Amino acid sequence: MTSNREHWGSRAGFILAAAGSAVGLGNIWKYPHMAGQHGGAAFTMVYLLCILVVGLPILLAELSIGRRTQLNPVGGFSLLSNNSNWKWVGFLGVASAFTILSFYSVVGGWTIKYTVLALTGSFGKFSATGAAGDFFDAFVKNPVEPVFWHLVFMGLCVFIIDRGVKAGIERWSKVLMPVLLGILVLLVFRGVTLDGAGAGLRFLFSPKWGDLDASGVVLALGHSFFTISLGMGTMITYGSYLRRESDLIQSALWIVALDTFIALMAGIAIFTAVFALGQNPAEGPGLIFVVLPSLFPHMPGGQFFAALFFFLLFVAALTSAISILEVVTAYFIDEKGWSRTRATNTFGAIIASIGVLASLSNGNYNVLSPVTDLTFMDLLDKASSKYMLPLGGMLTAVFVLTRWGVDHFRDEIKSGAKWFQLNKQVITIIFVIASLVVAYIFASELVALFR
């Protein structure tokens, strides 16, 4: 089953694809608005700490399970545990993929709509106070337009994934990731050269610990999973297309470094503009779709930078969304013997349909309205980011400690590594700490849920 598995064409190709998965709406949409609401620099410090203490070890665990088994998450856990119940952690990953992609592609659709708006010169109308907010509100509630763009976005994902690992994911990531970096550099330059940009930089980098509350800490941890695409087997799947000679440690460091660098750059681009033009950084999820559109018209070259910004957001979302669809696709190819085309078309269509319900839930057609005020889209987002990903990540760490075994895991990361010094005890301590941190936060989330 594994001998004719497709592999990445090059080391750089793999790193760009995996970084493409990691860098997404999480970096450019979620991180800035969460930092904006939870103390700026203090939130950023906790988030960076979580990435080092929890994210990096679990990323290495996922990549090594994938490379060792050359299988999707379900097959991977199953093979390493003699077909035991651990395979359910793999199924949790596949379920998370359905859940995340269904709402992620709705936001992906919004990014296309806003790119088109900027390109057609429509941003001028957002200069009036409140106009951007009113427009966004009416747009997401519309039963047709956002659904249409969501379907376009899903269609693109299916198109790329259908082409396979090398000709689809790798080839597109190699083009799109440099584009993304280039655009971001331009936007950062625009931001820091605005009068009054310094206040934005101080907000992002000089911590005032009093501004960080407990919910900020919980969010920072959950976000460290989301942003590196952990806890649902994406990195197991991408790792399964690696050859044994590849250096897992170096790759993991690259992925985390690129992801963090891009989140911080996005933060700089956004907060310098927000502060320079006297806006509120704690606007929440609307920061990108409401505050920024109202800023661009007041900025020299604003229309141009607006188009670049939303295209950047679209590219970032697309390279992440394809990695989510690949998890489901790989499972059906490996375990059920389906062809790639059949798997991508079938599950692309199913996820797109759930996404339609998510999009409609922002307007008058929320399937959850008989039971709760929460929209179906919010439910998908919260269930995955707050519970499913942290649970999947924690179980992966526990799996390394108690089932696969630290010795086997260590052998796997050593193979191909140019430099590797950690002994069994140190790895065990790192994984125990990572598991405990996630378990604690996960438990506190559950307690909060039932209070």
105 binds ligand PFF (CB under 6 A): no
- Report the residue from 44, 227, 294, 362 that binds ligand PFF according to the rule CB under 6 A: 227
* 353's tokens: 């349909």
24 binds ligand PFF (CB under 6 A): yes
135 binds ligand PFF (CB under 6 A): no
75-104 binders of ligand PFF (CB under 6 A): 100
List b or e across 155-194, with b for residues whose CB sees 16 or more CB atoms inside 10 angstroms: ebbbebbbbbbbebbbbbbbebbeebbebbebbbebbbeb
Q: Who's near 363: CB < 8 A, 6+ residues apart?
A: 140, 141, 142, 143
The span from the CA of 257 to the CA of 319, in Å, is 17
Kindly state the smallest distance separating residue 420's Cβ from ligand PFF, in Å: 26
Neighbours of 134 (CB within 10 A): 12
With DSSP H G I counted as helix, E B as strand and the rest as coil, what are the percentages for the chain, rounded to 5?
Answer: 80, 0, 20
* Length of the chain in terms of residues written: 451
| Alpha-helix residue ranges (DSSP H) falling in 128-197 | 131-141, 145-162, 171-192
323-362 binders of ligand PFF (CB under 6 A): 323-324
Task: DSSP letter for 136, please.
Answer: H
254 binds ligand PFF (CB under 6 A): no
Kindly state the smallest distance separating residue 101's Cβ from ligand PFF, in Å: 8
173 binds ligand PFF (CB under 6 A): no
Binding track over 265-304 against ligand PFF, x by CB under 6 A: ----------------------------------------
Which helix (H) or strand (E) segment holds residue 417: the answer is none
Kindly state the smallest distance separating residue 295's Cβ from ligand PFF, in Å: 23
Closest C-alpha to 123, from 305, 309, 303: 303
Exposed (0-12), middle (13-18) or buried (19+): which is 418, by Cβ within 10 Å?
Answer: exposed
Which helix (H) or strand (E) segment holds residue 369: the answer is none
234 binds ligand PFF (CB under 6 A): yes
Kindly state the smallest distance separating residue 26's Cβ from ligand PFF, in Å: 2
438 binds ligand PFF (CB under 6 A): no
Binding range to ligand PFF, per CB under 6 A, among 22-30, 147-155, 357-365, 434-442: 22-30
Which residue reads 């990731």 in tokens? 177
- Report the residue from 98, 226, 305, 347 that binds ligand PFF according to the rule CB under 6 A: 226
Binding range to ligand PFF, per CB under 6 A, among 25-33, 138-146, 153-161, 293-301: 25-33
320 binds ligand PFF (CB under 6 A): yes
The count of residues interacting with ligand PFF (CB under 6 A) is: 15
- Report the residue from 34, 232, 287, 388 that binds ligand PFF according to the rule CB under 6 A: 232
Q: Coil, strand, or helix at residue 56? A: helix
54-73 binders of ligand PFF (CB under 6 A): none
- Nearer CB in complex with ligand PFF: 194/313: 313
Closest C-alpha to 35, from 227, 283, 273: 283
22 binds ligand PFF (CB under 6 A): yes
Q: Who's near 186: CB < 8 A, 6+ residues apart?
A: 305, 308
Binding range to ligand PFF, per CB under 6 A, among 77-85, 206-214, 228-236, 294-302: 228-236
Neighbours of 214 (CB within 10 A): 9
Q: Coil, strand, or helix at residue 337? A: coil
Kindly state the smallest distance separating residue 327's Cβ from ligand PFF, in Å: 7
Kindly state the smallest distance separating residue 260's Cβ from ligand PFF, in Å: 11
The alpha carbon torsion through 226, 108, 146, 120 (nearest 10 deg) reads 140
Kindly state the smallest distance separating residue 436's Cβ from ligand PFF, in Å: 23
- Nearer CB in complex with ligand PFF: 229/366: 229
115 binds ligand PFF (CB under 6 A): no
- Nearer CB in complex with ligand PFF: 276/312: 312
Instruction: List contacts with ligand PFF (CB under 6 A).
Output: 21-22, 24-27, 100, 226-227, 229, 232, 234, 320, 323-324
